[in-house]
């Protein structure tokens, strides 16, 4: 008996083989719960890009990538559990895709020395790298989004919004409240009238808000919604025959599943974005060849090329490039979270790099610095074509109003620094 | 044999009236306290504290609070989430320095020590609970449940709307700044696992002690009299106004403390709609019902059940070990074989007795579940897709709640009571 156990043990050791150190990019995803429709494509895109790197290039810099997934259900308590259970594995960067979880993780990751990348969500003032050492929100944040939306309205109104009225329909949470201050400042500057219409979680009931819109007849509606709230809002807008081309959603309110329930009535609905849409990029051929055809696609594999899938892909690409930068900076393939942070801070994304990766014009070219963790804050406008069933980018990536946003970021981050006792960096 | 009254002589009334009259029970209780206070803090790491111990202790306090109201006084409440929010926001205001505007002049309290902030938050919540308890003097049962449901929605709305409560921050989030006790950080990012654990443990122990003694004394007896039949209670001299309102106040005090700890120590940042929504009220109510109405131990058991079960399922099913040690591998095969045997035996006995709920089939079912759990934990998790596991969690937790309520409507506490009765006679049951 003893000898048999020993042989089994030896066989087991040989089967297991040497433990490979790999680069860990945990995915705090949500494939269940009220926001799953948005969480699934993002998680799929994030996982597929790393699978592609493993299959095609053998990982990043020769080191294989591992993407342990942890289900948060958009719930902060589960998010904490996920963070604590994965942080010990050498996790390089966290991307929780939830503003609530982000607020919780900001102090924790800073204390633990792990970078946090909240691309287009989270705490906007984290763009100030002088205060937030481990938090990044490049290439764009909520306030850029609000400003890009207003800039687009300026464009179609020949630069004059005075006397116009804009209504903000927002998710009544930290996320939805983010743009209010920016939109108020911008309304003073451009002379439009702003009205605020909060929608409570999860947002299935919006009759009263849209009744108010029907009564007050605002010229434009901007929406900061997520999950089922988007579909309901677009359906309600269609019901009151609000002109869709005057209805602009933030990037979290502009995916296929948000507009399809309203059918043809959603035609012309616009959304702000910070990356390109569609599957007309060379990288998708690689994904087909190395990921899908090998049966390695994450999830059900039916999300490829959707807006939020592309966002997950883009997030993974930026993370992988930051890891490469870190590998070059520290001259080692096996990087630590601290090195990853340096890599993110030194990240430079150029058009040549994106073309080389098979993603030409997929996002704006930008560079991150110690002071600026928020990137350039460029955004474009996409529009939904219901008959073709696809989103298309109708503008270039344009500047947001830095004059208004920068002082707000500075004020909010300095207030945080004072409250949390953070010392300024980058001097 | 060990668990008996015989030979344990009480020579004073104090001895006779103590919580644990049986010597074995008493020593077990001291042992649990000793382990919790002296051993666990030495062993815990961030994961154990943040994923298991803190939620367990905090939910226990909330469940004790709700148990006082629902289990002891018989007043149904669905406002627990809202009252936890009051505790959290009150604690936030106290720990950051409460500012009050009177006639255009701002008066500000200095930031108060976190321990006292939590206690004060409890008192604020007690006051709010008292206000929302007033309808209980006129209405009962479902109607009262609806009134407290209104409290839940009103309070969440209030803390979303009232920017003073979250210090006018742009996002409406509240963040716990770093606060210390005796130079040890209790809140904020750079806390040690043992410190936050001990802080919550002190609160859980104190609140449980007070609750146990309240419910054994005249106050608790009045509550129970009201619960059993309020008219009869009134006739024998229990003042329903004082009894009901005191139950609401004490219950809310506990729930408020739980909310304050939940925000300040456990999560560190909350948003009222997400953290203190209606689902919080339900989960605490589930804890009370599964644990056992009218039992302090039941509150702990219910909280443990609902906190630990999802974590256990996740560790079993969703996780995947990167490398398995040869020893674990061998044991894994062993447990897998045991699981296969018990599963086959379950099928055999179910077919033989033509019933799934026959005694032998149930034994084998239990054995196969146990061996599967051990197998999954030994090999470090099954590595199933996370969404399937998340859905399975809902199914399993829901099914267990139903099975529990059918098999033992009085909850885990009743199981505990029954096993104690059996222990008392063991090993000579006749």
Alpha carbon distance B155, B277 (integer Å): 10
Q: What is the ipTM of this complex?
A: 0.86
Q: What's the CA gap between A354 and A289, in Å, rounded?
A: 19
Pairing, β A247-249 against β A270-273: parallel
Q: Is the CB of A16 inside 8 Å of chain B's CB atoms?
A: yes
Reduced to 3 states, what is the DSSP secondary structure of residue A116?
Answer: strand
Phi, psi of A66 (to 5 degrees): -125, 135
Q: How far is A20 from chain B (nearest CA, A)?
A: 9
Copy the structure tokens of residue B330.
Answer: 């061998």
User: Same domain for B303 and B382?
Assistant: no
Same domain assignment for residues B171 and B81: yes
Q: How far is A16 from chain B (nearest CA, A)?
A: 7
B40 burial via Cβ count (<10 Å: 0-12, 13-18, 19+): middle
Best of B47, B284, B386 to mutate (most A CBs within 10 Å, chain A)? B386
Sign of CA dihedral A118, A237, A184, B268: negative
Give dist(CA A34, CA B391) in Å, integer. 13
Q: Are residues B293 and B377 in the same domain?
A: no
Which among B323, B333, B386 has the least Cβ separation from residue A29?
Answer: B386
| Residues of chain B numbered 338-357 and touching chain A (CB < 8 Å) | none
pLDDT tens, position by position, A259-308: 999 989 999 999 999 999 988 899 999 999 999 999 888 888 888 889 99
Tell me the C-alpha distance between A275 and A277, whole Å.
Answer: 7
B50 and chain A in contact, CB less than 8 A: yes
* Sheet strands (E) in A212-263: 220-224, 247-249
CB count in 10 Å sphere of residue A221? 24
Residues B103 and B180 in one domain: yes
CB contact (8 A) between residue A177 and residue B172: yes
List all residues 6 or more positions away from A281 whose beta carbon is below 8 Å from its beta carbon: A358, A359, A360, A362
Per-residue pLDDT of chain A (427 residues; tens, 9 = 90+): 444 444 444 444 444 433 447 899 999 999 988 888 899 999 999 999 999 999 999 999 889 999 998 999 888 888 988 998 888 888 999 999 988 899 889 888 988 899 999 998 888 888 998 999 999 998 888 999 999 999 999 999 988 888 899 999 999 888 888 889 899 999 999 999 999 999 988 888 899 999 999 999 999 999 999 988 999 999 999 999 999 999 999 999 989 999 999 989 999 999 999 999 988 899 999 999 999 999 888 888 888 889 999 999 999 999 999 999 999 999 998 899 999 999 999 999 999 999 999 999 898 888 899 988 988 888 999 999 999 889 999 998 888 888 888 998 998 888 888 877 788 888 7
Domain closes at, from B241, B276, B308: B308
For chain A, the straight-line distance linking the first and the last C-alpha, in angstroms and rounded, comes to 68
**Cβ contacts (< 8 Å) between A10 and chain B: which residues?**
326
Residues of A in contact with B274 (CB under 8 A): 75-76, 100, 173, 201
CB-nearest to A420 from B177, B271, B330 is B177
CB contact under 8 A, B171 and A103: yes
Radius of gyration of chain B (CA): 24
Q: How many domains does chain B have?
A: 2
Pair (B405, B381) in one structural domain: yes
Judge whether B242 lies within some domain: yes
Given B308, B337, B358, the domain boundary residue is B308
The verdict on B81 and B183 lying in the same domain is: yes
Query: Is the CB of residue B235 less than 8 Å from the CB of residue B111?
Result: no
**Minimal Cα–Cα distance from A265 to chain B, Å?**
32
Q: Which residues contact A177 (CB under 8 A, 6 or more apart)?
A: A170, B170, B171, B172
Of the candidates B331, B318, B313, the one whose C-alpha atom is nearest the C-alpha of residue B395 is B313
Residue at B430 is within a domain:
no
Q: How many C-beta atoms surround the C-beta of residue A389 within 10 A?
A: 10
Q: Are residues B355 and B249 in the same domain?
A: no
Token duo for residue B272: 């009222």
pLDDT digits (tens, 9 = 90+) for B209-255: 999 999 999 999 999 999 999 899 999 999 999 999 999 999 999 99
Q: How many CB atoms lie within 10 A of CB A84?
A: 20
List, in sequence order, the alpha helices (H) in B67-192.
Answer: 80-96, 114-133, 141-161
CA dist list (Å): A213 to A167, A225, A237, A352:
8, 16, 9, 45
Residue found by looking up tokens 């060379």 in the block: A282
Q: Which long-range contacts (CB under 8 A, 24 or more apart) does B331-338 make?
A: B331/B378, B332/B375, B332/B378, B332/B379, B333/A8, B335/B371, B335/B374, B335/B375, B335/B378, B336/B375, B338/B367, B338/B371, B338/B375
CA angle A8, A14, A20 (to 5 degrees): 135
Contact residues, chain A, for B96 at CB < 8 Å: 419
What is the distance between the alpha carbons of residues B34 and B201, in angstroms, rounded to a whole number? Answer: 12
Q: Do domains A21-141+280-377 and A142-277+380-406 have the same CATH topology?
A: yes
Interchain pair A88, B324: CB under 8 A: no
Contact A172 B160 (CB under 8 A): yes
Instruction: Compute the distance between CA of residue A282 and CA of residue A356 in angstroms, rounded to an integer.
Output: 10
Domain co-membership, B295 together with B223: yes
CA–CA distance, A154 with A162 (Å, rounded to integer): 10
Nearest to B245 by CA among B127, B361, B343, B330: B127
B265: domain CATH number is: 1.10.3470
A69 and B386 within 8 Å at the Cβ level: the answer is yes
pLDDT at residue B5 in the model: 76
- Do B343 and B278 share a structural domain? no
Q: Do B268 and A107 touch (CB under 8 A)?
A: yes
Is residue B388 located within the same domain as residue B257?
no
- Contact list in B for residue A174 (CB cut-off 8 A) is 171-173, 271
Distance from CA of A249 to the nearest CA of B (A): 19
Number of inter-chain CB pairs under 8 A, A vs B: 131
Task: Assess contact for A308 and A249: CB atoms under 8 A.
Answer: no
What's the CA gap between A371 and B329, in Å, rounded?
50
Residues A94-144 pLDDT 10s: 999 988 899 889 888 988 899 999 998 888 888 998 999 999 998 888 999
Tell me the per-residue pLDDT of B158-173, one tens digit each, with 9 for 90 and over. Answer: 998 888 888 887 778 8
Phi, psi of A401 (to 5 degrees): -80, 90
Give contacts of A 225-244 with B, CB under 8 A. none
B154 close to A (CB below 8 A) = no
Note whether A18 contacts B: Cβ–Cβ < 8 A: no
CB pair distance less than 8 Å for B170 and A178: yes
Query: Is omega for the bond preceding A202 within 30 degrees of 0, making it cis?
Result: yes
- E strand or H helix that includes residue A307: helix A307-330
Residues spanned by the domain of B407: 316-425
Last residue of a domain, one of B262, B281, B308: B308
Going by C-alpha positions, the residue among B93, B113, B112 that lies closest to residue B183 is: B113
Q: By the 8 A CB rule, do A178 and A224 touch?
A: yes
Task: Report whether A408 contacts A181 (CB < 8 A).
Answer: yes
One domain for residues B215 and B107: yes
H helix or E strand, kind and range, residue A244: none
3-state helix, strand, coil split of chain B in percent (to 5) is: 75, 5, 25
Q: Going edge to edge, which strands form the sheet with A270-273?
A: A193-199, A165-171, A220-224, A247-249, A270-273, A380-385, A390-393
Identify the bridge partners of residue A168 per DSSP, sorted by sequence position.
Answer: A196, A222
Query: Nearest-CA distance from B46 to chain A in Å?
Result: 7
CA distances from residue B173 to B36, B122, B161, B372 in whole angstroms, order as listed: 33, 21, 12, 42
Q: Which residues contact B196 (CB under 8 A, 6 or more apart)?
A: B49, B54, B186, B265, B266
Report which of A71, A67, A43 is spatially closest to residue B311, judged by C-alpha positions: A71
Among A19, A40, A77, select the one facing B323 at the smallest CB separation: A19
Q: Is residue B15 part of a domain?
A: no
**Closest chain B C-alpha to A173 CA, distance in angstroms:** 7
**How many Å is the Cα radius of gyration of chain A?**
22
Determine the 3-state secondary structure of B33 from DSSP.
Answer: helix
Which option is the CATH number for A21-141+280-377: 3.40.50.1980, 3.30.428.10, 3.40.50.2300, 3.30.342.10?
A: 3.40.50.2300
Would you say residue B20 lies in a domain? no
Domain-embedded: residue B18? no
Out of 3.40.50.1700, 3.50.50.60, 3.40.50.2300, 3.40.50.10860, select the CATH number for domain A142-277+380-406: 3.40.50.2300
Yes or no, beta carbons of A71 and B329 under 8 Å apart = no
B61 and B198 fall within a common domain: yes
Residue B390 lies in a domain: yes
Q: Under a CB-based contact definition with an 8 Å cutoff, are residues B212 and B127 in contact?
A: no
CB B66 within 8 A of CB B286: no
B26 domain residue, yes or no? no
* Angle at A170 (CA atoms; ends A169, A171), nearest 5 degrees: 145
Output the pTM of the full model: 0.90
Can you give the pLDDT at residue B302? 93
Q: A417, A427, A379: which is closest to A132 by C-alpha?
A: A417
Task: Count CB-CB contacts under 10 A for residue A11.
Answer: 13
Nearest to A337 by CA among A20, A111, A54: A111
Return averaged pLDDT per consecutive 10 residues of chain B, 430 residues in all. Answer: 78 85 87 93 89 94 95 92 95 88 80 92 95 89 90 92 84 85 86 92 95 93 93 92 94 96 92 89 92 92 91 84 81 90 89 81 88 87 85 87 84 88 80
Domain ranges of chain A: 21-141+280-377, 142-277+380-406
């Amino acid at each position: 008996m003893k000898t048999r156990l020993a042989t089994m043990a030896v066989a087991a050791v040989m089967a297991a083989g040497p433990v490979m150190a790999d680069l860990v990019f945990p995915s705090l995803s949500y494939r269940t719960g009220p926001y799953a429709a948005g969480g699934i494509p993002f998680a799929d895109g994030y996982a597929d890009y790393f699978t592609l790197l493993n299959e095609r290039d053998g990982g990043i810099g020769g080191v294989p990538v591992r993407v342990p997934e942890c289900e948060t259900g958009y719930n902060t308590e589960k998010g904490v559990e996920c963070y604590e259970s994965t942080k010990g594995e050498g996790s390089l960067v966290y991307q929780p895709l939830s503003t609530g979880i982000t607020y919780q993780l900001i102090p924790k990751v800073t204390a633990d020395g792990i970078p946090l990348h909240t691309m287009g969500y989270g705490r906007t003032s984290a763009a100030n790298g002088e205060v937030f050492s481990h938090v990044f929100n490049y290439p764009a944040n909520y306030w850029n989004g609000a400003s890009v939306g207003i800039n687009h309205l300026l464009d179609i109104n020949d630069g004059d919004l005075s006397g116009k009225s804009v209504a903000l329909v927002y998710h009544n949470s930290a996320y939805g409240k983010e743009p209010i201050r920016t939109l108020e400042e911008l309304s003073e500057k451009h002379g439009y009238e702003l009205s605020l219409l909060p929608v409570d979680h999860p947002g299935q009931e919006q009759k009263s808000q849209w009744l108010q819109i029907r009564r007050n007849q605002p010229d434009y509606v901007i929406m900061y919604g997520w999950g089922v709230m988007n579909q309901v809002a677009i359906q309600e807008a269609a019901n009151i025959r609000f002109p869709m081309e005057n209805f602009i959603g933030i990037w979290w309110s502009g995916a296929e599943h948000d507009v399809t329930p309203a059918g043809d009535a959603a035609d012309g609905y616009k959304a702000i974005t910070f990356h390109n849409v569609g599957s007309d990029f060379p990288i998708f051929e690689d994904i087909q060849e190395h990921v899908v055809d090998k049966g390695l696609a994450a999830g059900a594999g039916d999300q490829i090329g959707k807006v939020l899938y592309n966002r997950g892909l883009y997030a993974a690409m930026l993370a992988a490039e930051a890891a490469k930068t870190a590998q070059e900076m520290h001259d080692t393939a096996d990087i630590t979270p601290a090195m990853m942070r340096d890599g993110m801070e030194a990240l430079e994304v150029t058009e040549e790099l994106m073309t080389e990766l098979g993603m030409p014009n997929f996002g704006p070219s930008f560079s991150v610095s110690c002071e600026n963790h928020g990137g350039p804050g460029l955004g474009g406008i996409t529009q939904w074509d219901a008959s073709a069933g696809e989103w298309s980018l109708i503008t270039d990536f344009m500047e947001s109003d830095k004059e208004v946003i920068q002082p707000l970021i500075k004020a909010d981050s300095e207030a945080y620094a004072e409250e949390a006792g953070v010392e300024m960096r980058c001097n | 044999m060990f668990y008996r009254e015989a030979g344990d002589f009480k020579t004073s009334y104090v001895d006779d009236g103590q919580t644990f009259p049986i010597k074995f029970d008493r020593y077990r209780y001291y042992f649990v306290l000793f382990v919790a206070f002296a051993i666990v803090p030495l062993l815990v790491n961030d994961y154990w504290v943040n994923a298991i111990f803190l939620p367990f202790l905090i939910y226990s306090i909330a469940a004790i609070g709700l148990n006082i109201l629902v289990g002891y006084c018989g007043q149904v409440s669905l406002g627990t989430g809202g009252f936890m929010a009051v505790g959290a926001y009150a604690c936030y205001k106290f720990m950051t320095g409460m500012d009050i505007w009177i006639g255009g002049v701002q008066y500000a309290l200095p930031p108060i020590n976190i321990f006292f902030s939590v206690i004060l938050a409890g008192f604020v919540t007690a006051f709010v609970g008292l206000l929302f308890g007033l309808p209980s003097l006129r209405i009962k049962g479902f109607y009262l449940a609806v009134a407290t449901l209104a409290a839940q929605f009103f309070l969440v709305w209030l803390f979303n709307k009232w920017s003073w409560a979250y210090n006018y921050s742009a996002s409406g989030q509240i963040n716990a700044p770093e606060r210390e006790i005796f130079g040890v950080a209790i809140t904020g990012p750079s806390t040690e696992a043992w410190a936050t654990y001990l802080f919550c443990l002190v609160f859980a122990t104190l609140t449980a002690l007070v609750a146990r003694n309240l419910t054994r004394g005249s106050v608790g007896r009045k509550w129970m009299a009201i619960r059993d039949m309020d008219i009869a209670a009134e006739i024998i001299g229990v003042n329903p106004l004082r009894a009901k309102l005191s139950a609401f106040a004490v219950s809310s005090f506990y729930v408020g403390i739980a909310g304050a700890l939940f925000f300040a120590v456990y999560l560190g940042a909350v948003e009222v709609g997400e953290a203190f929504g209606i689902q919080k009220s339900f989960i605490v109510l589930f804890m009370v019902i599964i644990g056992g109405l009218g039992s302090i131990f039941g509150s702990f058991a219910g909280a443990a059940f609902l906190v630990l079960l999802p974590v256990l399922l996740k560790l079993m099913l969703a996780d995947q070990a990167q490398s398995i040690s040869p020893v674990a591998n061998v044991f894994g095969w062993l447990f897998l074989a045991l699981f296969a045997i018990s599963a086959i035996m379950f099928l055999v006995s179910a077919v033989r007795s033509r019933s799934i709920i026959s005694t032998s089939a149930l034994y084998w079912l239990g054995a196969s579940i146990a061996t599967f759990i051990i197998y999954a934990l030994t090999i470090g998790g099954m590595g199933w897709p996370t969404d399937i596991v998340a859905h399975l969690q809902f199914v399993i937790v829901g099914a267990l709640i139903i099975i529990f309520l059918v098999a033992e409507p009085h909850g885990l506490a009743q199981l505990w009571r029954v096993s104690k009765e059996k222990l008392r006679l063991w090993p000579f049951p006749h």
